[in-house]
Amino acid sequence: MNRKAFRDGIKPGWHYFGRKMDVADFEWVMWFTSFRNIIVFALSGHVLFGKLCSMTVPQHRAVMYMIYGALAVLASMGLVYLMIILSHCLLLYSVALAKQKWLCYVAGLCCLASFKVEPFGSWQSGFVTGAFDLQDVLFYGGCTFTIMRCMSFALESCEREEGIYSIFDLLKYNFYLPFFFFGPVMTFDQFRAQVSTRELRRKDDEMKSIRVNALLHVGAIMAVDIFFHFFYILTLPSDLKFVNRLSDWSLAGLAYSNLVYDWVKAAVMFGVTNTIARLDHLDPPQPPKCITMLYIFAETHFDRGINDWLCKYVYDHIGENHDHILKELVASIATFAITTLWLGPCEVVYIWSLVNCFGLNFELWVQKFFQLGPFAKLEAKLSGAMSRRIRAAFGAVNFWAIVLYNILALNSLEFALLVTKRLLVLGFPVSTLSIWFITYCGVQLIKERERILAIKEEDKGDKAKLE
C-alpha cells in the first residue's frame, strides 16, 4: 500500500472499515460514483415513462421513447451536443438516399474517424461547454454508438427494395435512451421489427427472469465493490517490479483475473441496459460469453452488440461461410480494421488487433490442416472421447493465447510481455505444463457440457418433428 506506483490506483474507500479502493479502471469508478447519480436517475425515469407508454399508447411507444431520449440527452449534455448528433444523423441519412453500400461504408467510417482521430475529435468535443465527471465518457460513447446505428440504418435502407426508411425511423432508433450512451448496438432491422409490435405480450415467467437478472446484476456490483476494497487486482499490474516478484501461479491468476473483471464489467453494463430493454418488450443482444468458457477466438467478444454488427455487415458478408482461407483472411482483416477505428487507433490497439486477427485465422489454418486426408482418416479411427481430449489439448493452448492477447488492451504491453515470458520461457517446464494441464481439464469440462447440450437440443428437435 505504500509503494509509489500504487498511489494513483488506490484511493480512500470504506472509511469505517479502514479499507482503500482500487480505482485503476475509470469505467468501474464511473459505475460506483457518477453513474449512479446521473444515468441511473435518467434510466429510472425511462422505465416509468416506458411503462406508462406501453399501457396507454403502445402503438406510438417508439415515438415516446425517442422524445424522452432526446430530452434526456439535451438535459445531460446540452443543445450543442444534440446538434452534433443530429448533424451526423442527417449526413448519413442523406448518403443513404443514394442506396450505394460502399458510399454508406465510406461516409460512416469517416464520421467514426472524426471522433476517434485527432484533432477532429477534440475539435467537436470543444463545442460542448460545461464540465462534469461523465462528460467525456458520455460524449464519445453517445457519438460513436450513434455512428454505428446510423450505418446500420443506411445499410438496411440499401437492402430495401422500395425507397428507404424515413429519417423519423432513424431518430426513433438512435434516441432510444438505454442503448444511446453505452450500447449495446442493436441492428436497425431488429429494433424496428420489435418496437413496431402493437400487441405487447410477455412469455411465460419472463418477468421472473427479468427480476432474477436484475438481482444478479445488483449482486455482481456489490461483489465487485467488495473485491475492489480487498484484492487490488487492477492496480497490481502497474508496478512491474512488484509483479515480477510474484510466483508463476500468482502471475497467471492475476492475468486471468483481469480478464474476468473486464468480462464482469461488460456483463453488468450491458446487463443493466438489456434488462431495461426487456421491460420495454425488446429482445436485445445477449451479454458476453463468460471468459472461462472461451477457448475459441471466433467466440471471443465482450460486446456482443458490436460483434453482431461486425458479423452481419463485414465479417459474414466478406467471409461468407468462413471455409475459404483467403476470404477468411480478408474478412478478418477488414473486421479488425474497423474494430481498431472503433476502439481508437494507438500502438496497443494495433498490436491487439494484429494478434487477435492472427489467432482467428490460425484457428482456420490448423482446422484445414487437420482435415487433410491422413489426419482425417486417423481421427476417424479414434473414439469420440479421445478426439475430444486431443481437441481440448489445443483448446487449452488457445485459451491462454486469448488471455495473453487481450490483457494487452486491459493493462499494458509490458505486463503482457512479462506474463508471456514468465509462463512460456522462465516457467518451462513445471509451471508451463502444470497451468496448461489445469486449463486442459477445464476445457474438457466445457466441451463435455457443450456435447450434452447439443444432444439435448437434438432430442428436442426430434421430438418436435414427431409431434
Structure confidence at residue 3 as a pLDDT band (50, 70, 90): confident
Choose among 301, 335, 299: nearest CA to 318.
335
For the segment 44-72, the average pLDDT, to the nearest whole number, is: 87
| pLDDT exceeds cutoff 90 at 28 | no
Distance (Å, whole) CA 17 – CA 434: 38
| pLDDT exceeds cutoff 80 at 413 | yes
Provide CB contacts within 8 A for 317, sequence distance 6+: 331
Beta bridge partners of 12: 20
Q: Give the model's pLDDT for residue 467.
A: 66
| pLDDT exceeds cutoff 80 at 311 | yes
pLDDT digits (tens, 9 = 90+) for 170-215: 999 999 999 998 888 999 999 999 988 777 777 778 888 889 988 9
Structure confidence at residue 363 as a pLDDT band (50, 70, 90): confident
Q: Where are the beta strands (DSSP E) in 226-378?
A: none
Q: Give the model's pLDDT for residue 202.
A: 79
Q: Give the model's pLDDT for residue 420.
A: 92
Structure confidence at residue 370 as a pLDDT band (50, 70, 90): confident
The sign one gets for the Cα dihedral 452, 453, 457, 458 is negative
Q: Give the model's pLDDT for residue 145.
A: 95
Q: What is the DSSP string of 154-192?
A: HHHHHH-SSS---HHHHHHHHT-HHHHTT-----HHHHH
Of 16-20, 66-70, 273-277, the range with the lowest mean pLDDT is: 16-20
Q: Give the model's pLDDT for residue 34.
A: 64
Instruction: Report whether 248 contacts 435 (CB < 8 A).
Output: yes
Q: Give the model's pLDDT for residue 36.
A: 65
Instruction: Report whether 434 contacts 252 (CB < 8 A).
Output: no
Distance (Å, whole) CA 20 – CA 243: 20
Distance (Å, whole) CA 238 – CA 243: 8
Q: pTM here?
A: 0.90
More confidently predicted of 57 and 406: 406
Q: Domain coordinates of the chain in residue numbers?
A: 32-195, 208-466
Is residue 164 classed as helix, strand or coil in its secondary structure? Answer: coil
| pLDDT exceeds cutoff 90 at 24 | no
- What is the residue type of 157? S
To the nearest whole percent, how much of the chain has pLDDT over 90?
Answer: 37
More confidently predicted of 357 and 290: 357
Cell of 262: 473486464
Instruction: Report whether 191 contacts 155 (CB < 8 A).
Output: no
Q: What angle in degrees, to the nearest 10, is found between the helix axes of 188-195 and 61-77?
A: 120
